A and B are shown apart, each in its own frame.
Chain A
Amino acid sequence: MTTAPAPAATREATGPTLIRLHEEGHDIVVADADLGKSTSARLFGDRFPERFFSFGVAEQNMISAAAGMAAMGRIAVATTFAVFAEHAYDQLRMSVSQPNLSVKMIASHGGVSVGEDGASAQSVEDIAVMSSLVNFNVVVPADVVEAEAVIEAAIRTPGPFYIRTDRPKHAVIYTDGARFELGRADQLREGGDVTLISYGLMVERTLEAAALLAAGGIEARVLNMATIRPLDVEALTRAAAETGAIVVAEEHLMHSGLGAMCAQALASRAPVPMEFVGIDNRYGESGVWHEVLEIVGLTPQAIAAAARRAVGRKSG
Chain B
Amino acid sequence: MVTDTQRGPDGTSSATDDADLDALIRRIRRHIVRMVFEASSGHIGGSMSAAEIMSVLYTRVLRHDPRRPDWPGRDRFVMSKGHATPVQYALLAELGYFPVEELDTFRAKGTRLQGHSVLGKPPGVENSAGSLGMGLSFGLGMRLSARLAEADTRVWVLMGDGEQNEGQVWEAAMAASHHAAEGLIALIDKNGIQNDDHTTSTMVTEPLDRKYESFGWAVRSGVDGHDTAAVEEALRWACEVRGRPACVIFDTVKGRGVSFMEDNPGFHGAPPSPEQYEQALAELGVTPEARP
Contact = CB atoms under 8 A, between A and B. Distances in A.
Interface in B254-291: none
A103 to B, nearest CB: 10
Interface SS majority for chain A = helix
Interface SS majority for chain B = helix
Interface residues of B, number: 32
Interface stretch (B24-32, B44-52, B130-138, B231-239): B130-138
Contact of A61 (B137, B142, B148): B137
Interface string A27-54: 0010000000000000000000011011
B172 A99 contact: no
Given A58-B174, A95-B134, A98-B118, A76 B141 contact: yes
Contacts of B55: none
Contacts of B133: 60
B141 A56 contact: no
Interface in A44-97: 50-51, 53-56, 58, 60-74, 76, 90-91, 93-95
Given A94-B128, A99-B120, A99-B128, A65 B141 contact: yes
Contact of B145 (A29, A56, A58, A64): A29
Nearest to A99: B119
A53 B174 CA distance: 13
Contacts of A74: 145, 148
A98 B114 CA distance: 13
B210 interface: no
A51 B11 CA distance: 34
Interface in A149-194: none
Interface residues of A, number: 32
Nearest to A88: B168
Contacts of A51: 148
Interface string B43-67: 0000000000000000000000000
Nearest to A71: B142
B144 interface: yes
Contact of A65 (B118, B120, B130, B140): B140
Of the candidates B141, B168, B171, the one having the most CB atoms from chain A within 10 angstroms of its own CB is B141
Nearest to B149: A72
B126 interface: yes
Contacts of B120: 99
Nearest to A65: B141
A54 B174 CA distance: 12
A71 B126 contact: yes
B21 interface: no
A65 B138 contact: yes
B79 to A, nearest CB: 13
A94 B134 CA distance: 9
Given A91-B134, A99-B128, A65 B144 contact: yes
Of the candidates B133, B145, B146, the one having the most CB atoms from chain A within 10 angstroms of its own CB is B145
B231 to A, nearest CB: 25
B168 A61 contact: yes
Interface of B: 78, 118-120, 126-131, 133-135, 137-146, 148, 167-168, 171-172, 174-175, 178-179
Given A60-B167, A71-B126, 17 more contacts: A29-B145, A60-B133, A60-B137, A61-B137, A64-B138, A64-B141, A68-B137, A68-B138, A68-B139, A68-B141, A68-B143, A68-B144, A69-B141, A69-B142, A69-B145, A90-B131, A91-B134
Interface of A: 29, 50-51, 53-56, 58, 60-74, 76, 90-91, 93-95, 98-99, 101
15 contacts: A29-B148, A55-B171, A60-B133, A61-B171, A64-B137, A65-B140, A69-B145, A71-B126, A71-B141, A91-B134, A94-B131, A95-B138, A98-B118, A99-B120, A99-B128
